[in-house]
Amino acid sequence: MRDGERELIRSIRKRASAASSKSLALHTGIGDDCAVLNLSSKEEMLVTTDLFLEGVHFRRGWQTAHVAGQMCLTRGLSDIAAMGGRPVAVFLSLACPKGTSRRWISAFVGGVTELGEHYGAPLAGGDTAAAPEKIIADIVVIGAAPKGEAVLRSGAKSGDRIYVTGTLGGARAELSRLLATKAKAEVRCALPQPQLEAGQKLRGVASAMIDTSDGLSVDLAHICEESRVSAIIEATQIPIAPSATLEDALHGGEDYQLLFVAPRNRRVPVICYPIGEIVPRRKHLVLLTDGKKAKPLPQLGWQHRI
Amino acid sequence: MRDGERELIRSIRKRASAASSKSLALHTGIGDDCAVLNLSSKEEMLVTTDLFLEGVHFRRGWQTAHVAGQMCLTRGLSDIAAMGGRPVAVFLSLACPKGTSRRWISAFVGGVTELGEHYGAPLAGGDTAAAPEKIIADIVVIGAAPKGEAVLRSGAKSGDRIYVTGTLGGARAELSRLLATKAKAEVRCALPQPQLEAGQKLRGVASAMIDTSDGLSVDLAHICEESRVSAIIEATQIPIAPSATLEDALHGGEDYQLLFVAPRNRRVPVICYPIGEIVPRRKHLVLLTDGKKAKPLPQLGWQHRI
């Protein structure tokens, strides 16, 4: 336990040692009570926090430690992308049970830090503890966006077109395959990439945006709820991932694409698929049409996110 | 499980509903992918994150849910105090196992939010999940300090006096009592208060500062390590909490007092106890003297914090 903790601290410190000199924003990183960050006075700060729990969000038998670390941070980076922001710094709270191997810890932290640094956000701090049973991680990403330009969920207007930046259902299809075959996915073939570049290009274009972390049916309902509108999406227009079904694409989470709406005549500067349109608020938040008849689409994805 | 989660979300949303209008800094709180915060251009941002795990940091049999929530946030607020900062916003990631009562969740979140609002930091977001077995919380506090004025651990100079803002060992003595009697501490008598006011008064006065979360022996060693100095403390000068021993005061954590150093002739504007002085770097980081002979003081407190 203590050995594991020491290794964890060493691993995080080593990875983060050069972080403060690499980042203009990061004044003081690991080795003080708080990290000290400086943003430009033209920017506002974005904050997101995501739990990543063994047995809930990942399994040691399914993902390598390095891939698990990348998955963990992808959750947070995707939230920054969904606001049109740039990531600035990453904080990792990690608790490991007795007996967790040094190799696993080091590879997990490596997955987090390498992905963070790839997108310009060094590991700047966190906390460690002994876990009673399973590995517990909580990832915090601090980001920045020009003042007043962060894209919220609440700006969708009736008549806006609805778009998604990539195929959906891939993560759920893979989960089904893993559950069915009990296979060990040493390398996850299609690790989702957080859509940070697309998100930044959509600032000033998208009237509302969210990432598809909980599933299309749930995430689109969030936009509708916050914007006080409803949405009609067309079954034939939804981009379904290879090996996934329409059900997977409608209700599967963790694809980390961007789901956004923009005025009908607005040119959209990223590769994306139009999947429907925003309508005035109705009884149901989201409707699915086959081209003839629109039916209410229930929210069947994960709904635990706040 | 799902019921517990819904209740959690409802509880957090309700508590945080008025947060964005209450706080000048908080633009967009719960209900979007990220919280959006605005600081004055004269300030820099402080970030701290702390795990708070059932069975490691608290027990449901020992603390009421409300007190546990307060303890959880105190960890983070105390880190902000140790930088001389003011807290701006709080983020709570909380995972509860199946069967956690609504009442417990609501009281825990209440403990967090009431304490945060008392110090001007509303609950601005977080994450929820199902926990496999025990309650898992991770608390993030965002703070602010005037640019360049945050008090670091690294500024201690030889000749500086060492001070602590209150008595030490109280939390460890209470823990020993609880372990011995197996009593249920329905109301924890001496819930530590984060020393935010004192911390802010010490900006420009203290040359280095830390909070006593891991214990005097460990926390003073952190200052020495970061400042490349050593410290000699006097056993007779250490303020020992009622019912605690010198051992408790030297090595017990979670008292959340401020431990700081300041130039010898500098008037210190807070109530505090002088306990020793900073000396040039020696073989051992911290020495304890009885007035005659100085002996190395081992670091026996918690060392897991990064």
Tokens standing for residue A90: 């990453």
Tokens standing for residue A41: 């006075």
Cβ <8 Å between B32 and A126 = no
Cβ <8 Å between B51 and A13 = no
Instruction: Identify the closest residue of chain B to A32 by CA–CA distance.
Output: B153
Distance CA A152, CA B21 (A): 17
Residues A126-136 as b or e (16 or more Cβ within 10 Å = b): bbbbbbbebbb
Query: What pLDDT score does A29 carry?
Result: 56
Query: What pLDDT score does A190 carry?
Result: 55
Pick A34's closest partner by Cβ from B27, B55, B143. B143
Query: What pLDDT score does A262 carry?
Result: 98
Cβ <8 Å between B306 and A95 = no
The fraction of chain A above a pLDDT of 90, given in percent, is 70
Cβ <8 Å between A152 and B39 = no
How large is the C-alpha radius of gyration of chain A? Answer: 20
Distance CA A259, CA A212 (A): 6
Mean pLDDT of chain B: 88
> How many CB atoms sit inside 10 A of residue A40's CB?
12
Distance CA A305, CA A261 (A): 21
pLDDT class of A20 with cuts at 50, 70, 90: very low
Residue A108 sits at φ, ψ, to 5 deg, of: -65, -50
pLDDT class of B2 with cuts at 50, 70, 90: very low
Residues of A in contact with B132 (CB under 8 A): 53-56, 133-134
Angle at which helices A102-118 and A65-81 pack, to 10 degrees?
A: 30
Phi-psi region of A113 (alpha: psi -120 to 50; beta: other; left: phi over 0): alpha
For B42-73, how does the pLDDT look when each residue is reduced to its tens digit (9 = 90+)? Answer: 999 999 999 999 998 898 888 899 999 999 99
Cβ <8 Å between B306 and A138 = no
Residues of A in contact with B91 (CB under 8 A): 47, 49, 140
In the block, residue with structure tokens 């984060």? B194
- pLDDT for B184 beyond 60: no
Pick from A292, A281, A282: which is nearest to A236 by CA? Answer: A292
Sheet holding A208-211, edge to edge: A208-211, A258-262, A161-164, A273-280, A229-234, A286-289, A294-296
Query: What pLDDT score does A33 carry?
Result: 86
Pick from A148, A299, A158, A300: which is nearest to A228 by CA? Answer: A158
Tokens standing for residue B165: 């803002």
Cβ <8 Å between A306 and B13 = yes
Pairing between strand A273-280 and A229-234?
antiparallel
Check if the beta carbon of residue A80 is closer than 8 Å to that of residue A141.
yes
Query: What pLDDT score does B132 carry?
Result: 87
In the block, residue with structure tokens 């916050």? A226
Mean pLDDT of chain A: 88
Residue type, B50: D
Tokens standing for residue A263: 């005025």
pLDDT class of A7 with cuts at 50, 70, 90: low
Lowest mean pLDDT among A265-269, B92-96, B183-187: B183-187
Predicted complex ipTM: 0.84
Cβ <8 Å between B93 and A50 = yes
Lowest mean pLDDT among A12-16, A78-82, A125-129, A225-229: A12-16
Query: What pLDDT score does B153 carry?
Result: 95
Question: What mean pLDDT is predicted for residues B108-131?
Answer: 94
Residue A97 sits at φ, ψ, to 5 deg, of: -75, 160
Pairing between strand A123-130 and A86-96?
parallel
pTM: 0.88
The secondary structure element, H or E, covering residue B194 is none
Helix then strand count (H, E) for chain A reads: 8, 13
Phi-psi region of B115 (alpha: psi -120 to 50; beta: other; left: phi over 0): alpha
Pick A34's closest partner by Cβ from B48, B93, B134. B48
- CB-defined contacts A:B, below 8 A: 222
Query: What pLDDT score does A24 carry?
Result: 45
- pLDDT for B187 beyond 50: no
pLDDT class of A177 with cuts at 50, 70, 90: confident
Residues of B in contact with A127 (CB under 8 A): 49-51, 138, 305-306
Query: What pLDDT score does B9 carry?
Result: 57
Question: What residues pair up with B92 in beta bridges, in sequence order?
Answer: B126, B139
Pick B125's closest partner by Cβ from A49, A53, A82. A49
Which of A12, A47, A53, A92 is the best substitution to test chain B (most B C-beta atoms within 10 A)?
Answer: A47
Cβ <8 Å between A34 and B93 = no
Residues of B in contact with A131 (CB under 8 A): 53, 56
Our CA-based measurement puts residue A234 at a distance from the nearest CA of chain B, in whole angstroms, of 25
Question: What residues pair up with A88 in beta bridges, in sequence order?
Answer: none
Pairing between strand B86-96 and B123-130?
parallel
Cβ <8 Å between A153 and B36 = no
Pick A5's closest partner by Cβ from B35, B209, B304. B304
- Tally of CA atoms within 13 A in the half-sphere of A86 that contains its CB: 16
Q: A128 versus B15: which is more confidently predicted?
A: A128
Query: What pLDDT score does A176 carry?
Result: 84
Cβ <8 Å between A33 and B48 = yes
DSSP 8-class letter at B204: T
